[in-house]
Amino acid sequence: MIKKVGVIGAGQMGNGIAHVMAVAGLDVYLKDISEEQLQKGMKVIEGNMQRQVGRGKLAEADMLAALGRINPVVDDGYLADIDLVIEAATENEETKKAILAPLGPQLKPEAIIATNTSSISVTRLASVTDRPDQFMGMHFMNPVPMMKLVELIRGIATSEETFQTIQDLTVHLGKSPTPAEDFPAFIVNRILLPMINEAIYTLYEGVGSVQAIDTGMRLGANHPMGPLQLADFIGLDVCLSIMQVLYEGLADTKYRPCPLLVKYVEAGWYGRKTGRGFYDYTTDEPTPTR
Ligand SMILES: NC(=O)c1ccc[n+]([C@@H]2O[C@H](COP(=O)([O-])OP(=O)(O)OC[C@H]3O[C@@H](n4cnc5c(N)ncnc54)[C@H](O)[C@@H]3O)[C@@H](O)[C@H]2O)c1
């Protein structure tokens, strides 16, 4: 039974994961290497919970109790006491391995380790830990408090008991689990990111403007958000790193990242989080940039 959880990385996903875990009654330790990110993450959680209270989705008293269950931490003392650690740090294999490798000796023998990676091999990440059988992918969607799906990914060594425990936890969080095999980018991003990349090619080749492409897919394919708007929302750096994992992992040129996506990331135009991507977010209404 999972009661105490450590979340490593307090960015947009980590703070969302801490949020839903605390609302579900679990004790949460939220860790980041950046004190500033940690404080920002705590503020975002409070703001998002306030919004849920405003919409009548969460009682004020439950919000206060949930906030009280989240402990921001900067050192590793909390690890000795937890049942599950979820790694939600930057999407970079070396960063993740450096976080995961030293965890084992600090954890209880029965503790499970999960990663929220969007695309990196769960089996490869598991191999740097002391417990590949108690390791799996728990891939939440963004924004975590709103999105129902959690993809559950078995590495080659993941035990059935580990999978069942995480599946039960997912249901306890009020989410819908869906199983995926450990192939690059799993199911959702394997399908979604090539579509976004194709939308960027469509822009790059001058087939349509930002507005034409997004309106086309919203009204023509009934998508709630256009693909370029969605790319800005996910983060263009995250989109590029997922396309690179698909391109390298599946060795097929159809996954080649669009040069325009590469250029935007090189410029530091990561989308909403930096104020500019395919839209400019410094104006009242986001303005298309092309
Ligand atoms: N953005 C999305 O839509 C989305 C969706 C699903 C999954 N994911 C995955 O979730 C993970 C996090 O993505 P994000 O969008 O929250 O990124 P983010 O950039 O918002 O947050 C990453 C956080 O990790 C922290 N970090 C980096 N190195 C660390 C370390 N050694 N120890 C502790 N903290 C460290 C950073 O300071 C930062 O706060 C990635 O693996 C990403 O692929 C992202």
| Probe target for ligand 1 pocket from 94, 238, 270, with the most ligand atoms within 8 Å of CB | 238
Domain ranges of the chain: 4-180, 190-285
Residue of the CA atom closest to atom 3 of ligand 1 = 234
Give the whole-angstrom CA distance, residue 239 versus residue 139.
15
- Return the pLDDT at 119: 86
Q: What is the pTM of this model?
A: 0.91
Residues near ligand 1 (Cβ within 6 A): 8-14, 31-34, 37, 88-91, 95, 99, 116-118, 139-142, 234-235, 238
Within this chain, domains 4-180 and 190-285 share the same CATH topology: no
- Return the pLDDT at 255: 97
Summarize pLDDT for 32-90 with one digit per residue, the tens.
999 999 999 999 999 999 999 999 999 999 999 999 999 999 999 999 999 999 999 99
The catalytic position among 118, 121, 197, 241 is 118
Task: Give me the percent of the chain exceeding a pLDDT of 90.
Answer: 97
Residue of the CA atom closest to atom 2 of ligand 1 = 234
Residue of the CA atom closest to atom 21 of ligand 1 = 11
pLDDT band at 91 (very low <50, low <70, confident <90, very high): confident
| Probe target for ligand 1 pocket from 13, 45, 103, with the most ligand atoms within 8 Å of CB | 13
Of 197, 194, 175, 198, nearest to 185 by C-alpha is 194
Ligand 1 atom having least distance to the Cα of 38? 39
Of 16, 8, 21, nearest to 41 by C-alpha is 16
- Return the pLDDT at 290: 92
- Return the pLDDT at 189: 94
Strands (E), 167-281: 176-180, 279-280
Placement of tokens 């050192």 in the chain:
75
Rounded to the nearest angstrom, the distance between the alpha carbon of 140 and the centre of ligand 1 is 12
Summarize pLDDT for 230-278 with one digit per residue, the tens.
999 999 999 999 999 999 999 999 999 999 999 999 999 999 989 999 9
The catalytic position among 48, 189, 197, 241 is 189
Query: Is residue 103 pLDDT above 90, yes or no?
Result: yes
Given CATH 1.25.40.10, say whether it is the number of domain 190-285.
no
Give the whole-angstrom CA distance, residue 240 versus residue 262.
7
* Catalytic residue list contains 197: no
CATH top class, domain 4-180? alpha beta
* Catalytic residue list contains 118: yes
Rounded to the nearest angstrom, the distance between the alpha carbon of 9 and the centre of ligand 1 is 6
Across residues 124-144, what is the average pLDDT?
A: 97
Of 270, 249, 25, 18, nearest to 144 by C-alpha is 18
Residue of the CA atom closest to atom 4 of ligand 1 = 142
The catalytic position among 15, 87, 119, 139 is 139
Residue of the CA atom closest to atom 38 of ligand 1 = 11
Helix (H) or strand (E) holding 239: helix 236-250
